Amino acid sequence: MVNPYVWIAGIVLILCTHGAAYWKGHESGVDSERAKQQVEVDKWRQNADAAAELYEEERQKKKVEYRTITKTVEKVKNAEPSRPECSTSDDWMRVFQQNAAVANSEQPASETGAGSKPASQ
């Protein structure tokens, strides 16, 4: 039979050669994947740079314009609610009409309005 030290040496030799091949293949695989990723990053960067250039060109074409905008708002003071359009009671309609009368008149709110009682009562 063969000496057991020879068997052990053969197994160690096989393990070392396979380990070295694995290590070298792993490094090579990592390098190739990094190269592929770098190519993709470079493509993306070129696309982003082109888009940024187009954006800057369009931005330079724009002209700044300052405008003064005046807006007139009209307040309708003479509007009185109509009874068919409102779904409120008669008491509230009287209050609305009194408030509209106060808004349309030159009298102060303390003389007439929602808080005052009618003169007939």
Is the pLDDT score of 108 beyond 70?
Answer: no
DSSP 88-114: S-HHHHHHHHHHHHHHHSSS-TTTSST
Tokens at 48, concatenated: 């982003």
Do 97 and 65 fall within a single domain? no
Do 64 and 82 fall within a single domain? no
Q: Which domain holds residue 118?
A: 74-121
């050669």: which residue's tokens? 17
Do 87 and 33 fall within a single domain? no
Do 6 and 50 fall within a single domain? yes
The total number of structural domains in the chain stands at 2
Q: Are 109 and 92 in contact (CB under 8 A)?
A: no
Is the pLDDT score of 106 beyond 50?
Answer: yes
16/83: higher pLDDT = 16
The residue among 36, 56, 71 that closes a domain is: 71
| Residue-level pLDDT at 37 | 92
User: In Å, what is the CA distance from 42 to each residue of 30, 33, 38, 56, 77?
Assistant: 18, 14, 6, 21, 68
Q: Binning pLDDT at 50, 70 and 90, where does residue 121 land?
A: very low
- Taking only the tens place, the pLDDT of each residue in 29-87 is 888 888 899 999 999 999 999 999 999 999 888 888 888 888 887 666 666 656 566 56
Cβ neighbours of 114 (radius 10 Å): 13
